[in-house]
Every structure is written in structure tokens, then in C-alpha cells.
Chain A
Amino acid sequence: MSTYQVPTMAEMVGKGESPEILFWVGCAGSFDDRYKAVTQAFVKILNKVGVSFAVLGPEEACTGDPARRAGNEFLFQMQAVANIQVMNGYEVKKVVTACPHCFNTIKNEYPALGGNYEVIHHSQFLQQLINEGKVVLQGGGEFKGKKITFHDSCYLGRANNVYEAPREVIKALDVELVEMKRCRTKGLCCGAGGAQMFKEPEPGKKDINIERTEEALATGANAIAVGCPFCLTMMTDGVKNKEKENEVKVYDLAEMIAKDMGI
């Protein structure tokens, strides 16, 4: 039996190979304890399916998204230009990431700074793998017949019009997908975008993630599916705040697929 492989670009290029995709892990995927599980789940799927991939490993840096949204264009461009130099150095063509913020920034904002890649979100990539029959789901496991609601992340949905891929992935799990009142183009933000993740909210009556969690719980779903590390944190906190953490779990799409595959 072999172990899972997580090759870096440096290793691959050292061996004279060039992987098909670069898996952009992102800061949350690298450092956030909860989201590291998502990164690991996604890497296991890639291994199982036999996708030729690599990560940047220690050479990866923040895309700069929160700095740009907080107004610090210098810092954003410092991060972006350095990342682009690394990626162009490895002649990266295709990038897959599990973070909608990284996805948006690399896809839409790096071209103006000389970084041109095909960028797809892991929900789109998983959908492709399922459609191509490369990921074969057991259609059972712990999610079978359960009610799942999907929380649209703003940077995937409104920002880039990706609404159906994550839903197709969930539907492939033989579950009942229930929609919140505000979904797709009308989806309510979790409260973390625009660099809000990194500061306390401004004074108000309520925290945004509580408002959204209440809406998610109102669907009667057994689990809340997300496709974004910030949404995962905000919704998990919201469920805890409502003291529902034992009944309602918050999962990333990749985790749900990996669980179904038994890996």
C-alpha cells in the first residue's frame, strides 16, 4: 500500500515533470485547523482519481485579496506580483482552488498584473470529475437521504456567476438539497467578505453570520454545505452560537465527497 502524495511544483519540475493542475491551497487551507481538513480531503480525492497535480507548498503566499478589499493596494500588488513570478516561473497553466476569494483574485485580477491562467473553483472541478465518471460516489454513507442546504459564497456566486456547480456536486450525493429563502443571486453573505474576516464587525443589532445561520437552520437541514473557508468559519460559529452544533454540521463540498468515497 502506498501513501497519499502531495508533490510540490519545485519537486515536479526538478523531476522534469509538469503537472496538469496547480492546486492553490490558500492561507486558510494551509493554516486554519478546520480548513486544513478540507485541503486534506481534496488532496485525497485528487490522489484517488489520479489527477496530475502539485502545490506550491512554502512558495505560496496570500493572493492579497483581503489587503486589496481593505484598501491597501500596495500590499495587494506586492503579494500578487510575487505570486505571479512564482507561477509564471513554473509555467502554470491551470489553477484549482478551494477558496472563492483566491479563485476570484487569481482569475480576475492577476491578468492585469501579467498572470494569465485558467482558474477553476474546486466545486467546478469536482463536478467535472463526477460528470466524467472519475469520481464514483457510493450514493450512501452518512449523507444518504439527508437534508442539505447550500450556502452561496459571494465570491463564487454573484462575483463570478458560479451557482450550479456546487449544487450539482451535492445532488450527486443522493441527498435532498433544500434551498434557503435567500439563495443564488440573492444569497446572503456570511459576513466575512471584504476583509471583514480580519476585524470585528461595525456596531449593529446583530452579526451577519447569525442572521444567515438562522436562515439555514430554518430549512430544517441536517447539514450546511459551503464552498469557502470564510463561510465555513462563519457558519460554524453561527451554529455554535445557536447551540445546534451537535445536530447540524457544516461541511465543505470536498469533505462531503471524500466522506462518500470512504477516504
Chain B
Amino acid sequence: MSFLPQIAFLVILGVAGFILAKRIKFLKRNILLGKAETRNDQTDTRWKTMLLVAFGQQKMFKRLIPAFLHLLIYVGFIVINLEVLEFVLDGILGTHRLFAPALGSVYTVAMNIFEFLAVAVLISCVAFLWRRNVSKVPRFSKPEMKGWPSLDANLILVIEIVLMCAILTMNATDQILANRGDEHYTILGTLFFSSLIQPIFEGMSTGSLVVIERFAWWFHIAGILAFAIYVTYSKHLHIFLAFPNTWYSNLKPKGEMPNMPEVTNEVNMMLGIPSETPADPPAEIGRFGAKDVNDLTWVNVLNAYSCTECGRCTAECPANLTGKKLSPRKIMMDVRDRAEEVGKSIDAGGPGLEDGKSLLGDYITKEELNACTSCNACVEACPVNIDPLSIILQMRRYVAMEESGTPAQWNAMFQNMETSFSPWKFSPQDRFNWADSVKEEQVK
């Protein structure tokens, strides 16, 4: 009896845990590059939103086919991960199928459910690969998806398929070995799905089967740990961040733009109105609007890390639909990429935010910002309540107020509003002229 496998297991678990902890710290710091914002009001509504939108996937069901396939993967992910608990305990204690004796036939039923879900996940992942690479659903092949984003998406699906194959292989060989009377293995009731692939392995020697079974076991558990680390580098982070992201949803009417109190103080001074909080001026007025990630709020950056690049926002965006450069998904990807760049630079002792680059210009162009109609289609479309519009509008504020870089026609509109209180060049004296003819008309 060797303790070597247990030691190896603990080492793998420890290393994975260490890397994960470091990655989580990195992500948290990057998200907190954003400015403070308090969103702890209406906690009942927040929990309800999280339950419906993230846990219940409410908004996914606007598109039925992907919603159904995604639901299978989601349920599979949650349920199959229950088995990981047994894996971990088996690994540490050097046992095999620790829960089987105590649970008896219930264990067999549970294993059959896991196998059913493994097959469902497998089929769904194949269908998703098909949608991305063969039937080429348009939203998956927009320009921002070139390179890593597409590879990332395909890798996730392939990894999930391989992990599911490992479970089925493990169960199939495990039961052949048990039936051959190997004392290490426990005979369970029929495992329907893995029994279907048993003919592949039945001709093999017991020695080979043990190797395959052990390999599948180690591959599956190490694979899950490696995948957990991979997820922190990937768009797949939504599996965790969808929950906080929906909890911190914007609960106000979508049409409302947040007020800028620092501007109100100045406006009140200009109009000679006593300010409500004269004794409490803001400690430090930063920039107006957003030029870089640190000008956005941490919720905006959390949004960016929660984005799984499904492109429902871009598919609904009127600007994108009509060939403009703007893609709300790209806005989210840019914010994340910039936060990652700044984070890595800080960790490497580099200049961080002061690297001469910024979100505006190096990632997002004015042409993209100027194409937005603020119609909220992207916000409505997002299955996890991401708000790309909030970022676009904050960046427009920077362009207008810090750079005076708005398009000439907007500058003309500003001027009209300043001089004649209307976006069009009409005399304010004529504002009420529309009533002249009505006032002469007889009531019918």
C-alpha cells in the first residue's frame, strides 16, 4: 500500500488551489481598478434578480434552441460537480467510490443521473461547436471574435467534451473491473450510458483496464482543476461572475443616466443658486467622464469580466446591424482587455495606468462611441444584465467635456441649445407660435 497517489493528489490540489487564489486576487484587484459605486440598496430585488436571471437563466429563453442546450450544460455543470466532492475525498483518503456503500442503490441512481447529464453536456457542446464552426451563426464571426476569442470558445467546448468522455470511460472500465471481481472496485447497478461503451473495453486485459480507469480518474479530476484555472483567463468566467453581476444589476429605469453631482455644484454657482451641500465639496474632482478603466465604476469592470462574448448585444444593436463600427460586445471585451493589461503591468512593476495608453483611443474609437443611439437594445439583450451603454455614455462625457472632441454637428446643436434653448436654431420667442392657429380655430 503506497501513499504516493494520495501525496500526488494533495500536491495537485494544493498547487491548483494556490494558483486559483492568486488568479482570484488578480481579478479582484482588476475589477477594483474601477471607481467606487454603492449598489447595496433593494436587497430583496437584488436577490430576486440574481435568482431569476443568473440561477434561473430567465433571459436566455428569448432564444429557445441555444437556451435549451445551454441549460443542459449548466445543469450538468452544477450536478456533476457534486461528484467532484467524492473525487476529492477519494483522492485524499485513498478510497474508491467512498459514498457507494452508504448510499447503496441511491448511488447507482445518482451515477445514472450524472451519466445522463454527461451525455447531455457532450451533445450540447457538439451542437455548440457546430453552431460556431459549421452553421456559422453570424454573431460568432464578427470582427472582434477573430483569433483568441474564437479559439477560447472552441477550447472550452472541446475541454468539456473531453472531460465528459473521461467520466464515461472511467465508469465503463470501473464496472468491467468490478464485474471481473477486482476487490478495489465496487459493483453498482446498471450504469446505462457507460454500459453502451463497455464493448470497446471488454476485450482488454485487467491490467490495461486499470491503467485506463486510473488515467480517466486522474485526467478528470486534474482536468477539472486545470479548467477552473483556465476559466480565470477565459471568457468562461461568466459561470461564476454571472451571479454577482446580476446581483449588482442596475435596478433603475434603463433610460436614466446617472447625475454628475460635481457638475451640479458648478451649474448652481453659475446660475446663482445656493448649493445644497456647500460645506461638503467633493474631495477631488477627477476627470469628467471616462478615458480609461479607472474612470469607469467597478461594476462596469465586473460587467466586462462577466461577459461570455455571446454577442446577443451586438446582434440586436441597430448601429452594428447597419454596418457601423460599434459593437457593444467589443466595448465589453475592450474594457476587460485594458483592465488585464493594466493589472499585468502593475504586477510586473510597470507603469500600470500610466503606460501612455488608454481605453479611449487605443481600444475604443470615437467612431464607435458616436454610432450609439442609446436605444438600450444591448442592455435588454444581455442574458446576465451587462450594461455596455453605461460605458459608452461615460466615455462620451469625457470626449465632450475634456477633449471638446464631439462631432461638429453636435457642437452646433450645443450652441443652439446655449443660445436659443433648443437643439435647433429657432428663436426662443417663436416657441409658442404653434398655438396661434389653434387659438383661432373654432371648437368642433
The one of B325, B377, B421 in contact with A202, judged by C-beta atoms closer than 8 angstroms, is B325
- Name the distance in Å between A83's Cβ and chain B's nearest Cβ: 9
Instruction: Please tell me if A166 contacts chain B, counting CB pairs below 8 Å.
Output: no
Give A110-121 as 1s and 0s: 1 = Cβ < 8 Å from B's Cβ atoms.
001100000000
The one of B252, B254, B422 in contact with A31, judged by C-beta atoms closer than 8 angstroms, is B422
CA distance A75 to B260 in the complex (A): 12
The one of B267, B401, B406, B439 in contact with A5, judged by C-beta atoms closer than 8 angstroms, is B439
Instruction: Please tell me if A39 contacts chain B, counting CB pairs below 8 Å.
Output: yes
- Please tell me the number of chain B residues within 8 Å of chain A, measured between CB atoms: 77
- Please tell me the number of chain A residues within 8 Å of chain B, measured between CB atoms: 82
Q: Which of A142-150, A172-180, A190-198 contacts B (4 or more CB under 8 A)?
A: A190-198
The one of B271, B323, B393, B422 in contact with A78, judged by C-beta atoms closer than 8 angstroms, is B271
CA distance A210 to B434 in the complex (A): 30
CA distance A70 to B268 in the complex (A): 21
Q: For residue A194, which residues in chain B have a CB less than 8 angstroms away from its CB?
A: 372-375
Give B421-444 as 1s and 0s: 1 = Cβ < 8 Å from A's Cβ atoms.
111101011111111011111111
The one of A8, A31, A159 in contact with B253, judged by C-beta atoms closer than 8 angstroms, is A159
Most buried by B among A29, A189, A200: A189
Q: For residue B377, which residues in chain A have a CB less than 8 angstroms away from its CB?
A: 154, 158, 186, 188-189
- Name the distance in Å between B60's Cβ and chain A's nearest Cβ: 14
CA distance A109 to B256 in the complex (A): 6
Instruction: Please tell me if B8 contacts chain A, counting CB pairs below 8 Å.
Output: no
CA distance A25 to B257 in the complex (A): 22
Q: For residue B400, which residues in chain A have a CB less than 8 angstroms away from its CB?
A: 70-73
CB-CB nearest in chain B for A152: B375
A77 and B263 form a contact (CB under 8 A): yes
CB-CB nearest in chain B for A83: B421
A28-72 contacts to B, CB under 8 A, are 29-32, 36, 39-40, 43-44, 47-48, 55, 57-58, 60-62, 64, 66-72
B380 and A185 form a contact (CB under 8 A): yes
A27 and B423 form a contact (CB under 8 A): yes
Given contacts A30-B431, A43-B435, A104-B256, contact A75 B376 (CB under 8 A): no
Instruction: Please tell me if A218 contacts chain B, counting CB pairs below 8 Å.
Output: no
CA distance A61 to B427 in the complex (A): 11
Q: For residue A5, which residues in chain B have a CB less than 8 angstroms away from its CB?
A: 439
Give B245-274 as 1s and 0s: 1 = Cβ < 8 Å from A's Cβ atoms.
000000011111111100110111011010
A71 and B380 form a contact (CB under 8 A): no
The one of B252, B268, B322 in contact with A211, judged by C-beta atoms closer than 8 angstroms, is B322
- Name the distance in Å between B320's Cβ and chain A's nearest Cβ: 9
B432 and A58 form a contact (CB under 8 A): yes
Instruction: Please tell me if B370 contacts chain A, counting CB pairs below 8 Å.
Output: yes
Instruction: Please tell me if B379 contacts chain A, counting CB pairs below 8 Å.
Output: yes
- Name the distance in Å between B88's Cβ and chain A's nearest Cβ: 43
Given contacts A108-B253, A158-B376, contact A202 B393 (CB under 8 A): no
A154 and B373 form a contact (CB under 8 A): yes
CB-CB nearest in chain B for A155: B255
- Name the distance in Å between B112's Cβ and chain A's nearest Cβ: 40
B289 and A31 form a contact (CB under 8 A): no
A202 and B434 form a contact (CB under 8 A): no
Given contacts A31-B422, A109-B256, contact A193 B373 (CB under 8 A): yes
- Name the distance in Å between A37's Cβ and chain B's nearest Cβ: 9
Instruction: Please tell me if B418 contacts chain A, counting CB pairs below 8 Å.
Output: yes
Give B270-283 as 1s and 0s: 1 = Cβ < 8 Å from A's Cβ atoms.
11010000000000
The one of B398, B434, B440 in contact with A30, judged by C-beta atoms closer than 8 angstroms, is B434
The one of B267, B410, B434, B437 in contact with A199, judged by C-beta atoms closer than 8 angstroms, is B410
A40 and B437 form a contact (CB under 8 A): yes
A113 and B259 form a contact (CB under 8 A): yes
- Name the distance in Å between A80's Cβ and chain B's nearest Cβ: 8
- Name the distance in Å between A57's Cβ and chain B's nearest Cβ: 4
Instruction: Please tell me if A15 contacts chain B, counting CB pairs below 8 Å.
Output: no
Instruction: Please tell me if A131 contacts chain B, counting CB pairs below 8 Å.
Output: no
CA distance A208 to B266 in the complex (A): 37
CA distance A212 to B267 in the complex (A): 39
A66 and B323 form a contact (CB under 8 A): no
A199 and B375 form a contact (CB under 8 A): no
B253 and A160 form a contact (CB under 8 A): yes
The one of A2, A202, A206 in contact with B371, judged by C-beta atoms closer than 8 angstroms, is A202
Instruction: Please tell me if A248 contacts chain B, counting CB pairs below 8 Å.
Output: no
CB-CB nearest in chain A for B257: A68
B267 and A77 form a contact (CB under 8 A): yes
CA distance A79 to B400 in the complex (A): 17
Instruction: Please tell me if B38 contacts chain A, counting CB pairs below 8 Å.
Output: no
A202 and B370 form a contact (CB under 8 A): yes
Q: For residue B421, which residues in chain A have a CB less than 8 angstroms away from its CB?
A: 61-62, 79
Instruction: Please tell me if B409 contacts chain A, counting CB pairs below 8 Å.
Output: yes
Q: For residue B48, which residues in chain A have a CB less than 8 angstroms away from its CB?
A: none
Give B369-396 as 1s and 0s: 1 = Cβ < 8 Å from A's Cβ atoms.
0111111110110000000000001001
Instruction: Please tell me if A133 contacts chain B, counting CB pairs below 8 Å.
Output: no
Instruction: Please tell me if B397 contacts chain A, counting CB pairs below 8 Å.
Output: yes
B329-375 contacts to A, CB under 8 A, are 367, 370-375
CB-CB nearest in chain B for A31: B426
Instruction: Please tell me if B417 contacts chain A, counting CB pairs below 8 Å.
Output: yes
A71 and B267 form a contact (CB under 8 A): no
A205 and B322 form a contact (CB under 8 A): yes
Question: 7 pairs across A/B with beta carbons < 8 Å?
Answer: A48-B443, A70-B406, A78-B270, A81-B271, A196-B373, A198-B413, A211-B318
Residues of A near any B CB (own CB < 8 A): 1-6, 8, 25, 27, 29-32, 36, 39-40, 43-44, 47-48, 55, 57-58, 60-62, 64, 66-75, 77-79, 81-82, 85, 104, 107-109, 112-113, 154-155, 158-161, 185-186, 188-189, 191-208, 210-212, 262-263
Q: A40-B438, A71-B400, A205-B323 are in contact. List 12 more A-B contacts (CB 8 A).
A: A27-B422, A30-B422, A62-B422, A69-B393, A73-B397, A74-B401, A75-B414, A158-B255, A196-B373, A203-B367, A208-B319, A262-B444
Closest 10 CB pairs of A and B: A159-B255, A71-B400, A205-B323, A194-B374, A61-B421, A71-B396, A204-B323, A189-B375, A199-B409, A108-B256
